Amino acid sequence: MSSTGETLLRAVETPLFWIGALTAAYFSVCSVYRLLSGLRVWVLGNGRVVSPAKLGKWAVVTGATDGIGKAYAEELARRGFSIVLISRTQEKLDDVAKSIVTASSLLESKYGVETKSIAVDFSATDIYPKIEAGLTGLEVGVLVNNVGMSYSYPEFFLNVPNLDSFIDTMVNINITSVCQMTRMVLPGMVERKKGAVLNISSASGMYPCPLLTVYSASKAFVDFFSRGLEAEYKSKGILIQSVLPFFVATKLSKIRRATLDKPNPDRYVAAELNTVGLQSQTNGYLPHAVMGWLTTVLCPARLLNSYIMGLHLGMRSRYLKKQKQG
């Protein structure tokens, strides 16, 4: 090597060393920060935030008679909230209310948990004056926008049965309900400078899901709505969270048997409530958080889209075959 080359090498050697060292230090610090943040969220949690003393006496839960909604109602009652149950069928509402009162009298009698039910069909748009009247005078500390609907089976957009009414119903239940319920309870929370709004989106809203296109898009709306609202109102003391679960063993998902990655609703909700105040956008449950990271960070979008398309085509084929046989 010539003397000129050696001189040039020495000139760049030190800067390159420091660039490499600083880069390694940066990624090390980021890794440690993420590890500590993960421990804070998934090990220590933030369970004390979700309490009537910190947020307000009443919790309102839509879609409260089954699955995740019922689990939220029961877990919030266990934490001392009085519960407003909102769903379509009065008989089911009465059953859930009875079970909450019975459980609270045995486990949490010192809180004097109350229940109130409002029977409405969220596929309609003329229901909100009735709900608003039912919530008048209540100190609503938590709103869980859980009510939702999905497809009966994966299907191409133009082949969805009764497509016109399907679109209206999907939008009314999955989108309009979130906006209208938030409109009702948020002013009181802002006035008191405390409260939490938990909007149950779906992992299907994290990326397009072919053959569940309208459902996926509606849940993406819920996620974006929540994140925008969180930026608007976090300075006013309001906790707003977008919750994006993967599969949970519920009637909606048609999964009967719970597993580690497909928990039952009680297990999921208990984990999710411990993330409130720590994450404004959450998968709510550690295995789901890992799945969310893998599918959004490591997996190329085109590959993921192709995989979901193939998965849903298989589910569609099995469903239609079963219908023909039946």
Catalytic residues: 215
Residue 233: CB atoms within 10 A of its CB come to 17
Nearest-CA neighbor of 285 among 262, 252, 304, 257? Answer: 262
Q: What is d(CA 286, CA 166) in angstroms, rounded to the nearest whole number?
A: 34
Amino acid at 262: K
Hunting for tokens 């599969």 — which residue is that? 247
Nearest-CA neighbor of 142 among 192, 215, 210, 91? Answer: 192
Which DSSP category does 124 fall into? S
Amino acid at 62: T
**HSE-CB of 176 using CA atoms within 13 angstroms:** 15
Give CA angle at 174 (173, 179), nearest 5°.
95
- 8 Å CB contact between 10 and 17: no
Q: What is d(CA 246, CA 68) in angstroms, rounded to the nearest whole number?
A: 12
Hunting for tokens 């909100």 — which residue is that? 128
Q: What is d(CA 265, CA 69) in angstroms, rounded to the nearest whole number?
A: 8
Residue 1: CB atoms within 10 A of its CB come to 8
Quick one: tokens of 67?
């699955």
- Say whether 73 sits in a helix, a strand or coil: helix
